Amino acid sequence: MSDRGRLKAWIARSGILWREYGKDKMALFGLIIVITALAVALAAPVIAPHNPWDYSADALAPPSLENLFGTDSLGRDVFSRLVWGTGVSLTFGAVAAGLSGLLGIVLGAVPAYYGGRIDDLFSRIFEFVLIIPMIFLLILVMALFSSNIYFMMVVVGLTMWPWIARIMRAQVLSLKSKAFVEASLVSGAGGLRILFRHIIPNGLYPVVANITLQIAFAILTEAGLSFLGVGDPNQISWGQVLYWGQLNIRTAWWNAFFPGLAIVVLALGFTLVGDGISNTLNPRLRERA
Partner 1 sequence: MQGDALVEVSNLSKHFRIRASGIFSRAASLLKAVDRISFDLHRGEVLGLVGESGSGKTTVGRLLSLLERPTEGSILFEGLDIKNLRGSKLKAFRRNVQMIFQDPYESLDPRFTVHDAILEPLMIHRVGSSKWERKRVILDALDHVGVRPPEDYVNRYPHELSGGQRQRVSIARAICLSPKLVVADEPVSMLDTSVRAGVLNLMLDLRDEMKISYLFVTHDLSVARYMSDRIIVMYHGRIVELGQAEEIIQNAIHPYTKDLLASVPVPDPEYSRARVRMKNDVQVQNGYDEGCPFQSRCPDSREECRSRQPALLERASGHWVACHI
Judged by the rule CB under 8 A, the positions of this chain that interact with partner 1 are: 2, 5-6, 8-9, 13, 178-180, 182-189, 193, 198, 201-202, 287-289
Is residue 100 within 8 A of residue 211, CB to CB? The reply is yes
- The three-state secondary structure class of 77 is strand
Nearer to partner 1, 130 or 204 (CB): 204
Q: How many Å apart are CA 92 and CA 151, to the nearest integer? A: 10
- Considering the complex, state which of residue 49 and residue 191 has its C-beta at the smaller distance from partner 1: 191
* 69 sits in which H/E element: none
Least Cβ distance, residue 10 to partner 1 (angstroms): 9
Q: Which is nearer to partner 1, 64 or 174 (CB)?
A: 174
Judged by phi (left if over 0) then psi (alpha if -120 to 50, else beta), residue 116 lies in: left
Distance in Å, CB of 186 to partner 1, minimum: 5
As measured in angstroms, the least distance from the Cβ of 166 to partner 1 is 22
**Minimal distance, residue 21 CB to partner 1, in Å:** 18
Q: Which is nearer to partner 1, 3 or 251 (CB)?
A: 3
158 vs 189, beta carbon nearer partner 1: 189
The C-alpha atoms of residue 39 and residue 52 are separated, in whole angstroms, by 18
Q: How many residues does the chain have?
A: 289
Nearest distance from C-beta of residue 168 to partner 1, angstroms:
16
Smallest gap from Cβ 188 to partner 1, in A, equals: 4
Beta carbon nearer to partner 1, 56 or 282: 282
> Which ranges constitute the DSSP H helices of the chain?
2-22, 25-42, 44-47, 78-114, 116-131, 134-144, 149-175, 179-187, 191-193, 200-227, 238-246, 254-284
Cα 129 to Cα 155, 162, 163, 170, 264: the distances in Å are: 12, 7, 9, 18, 27
Least spacing, CB of residue 13 vs partner 1, in Å: 7
Mind giving me the DSSP string for 19-62?
A: HHHHT-HHHHHHHHHHHHHHHHHHTHHHH-SS-TT---S-TTPP
CB-nearer residue toward partner 1: 170 or 185? 185
**255, 249 contact by CB (below 8 A):** yes
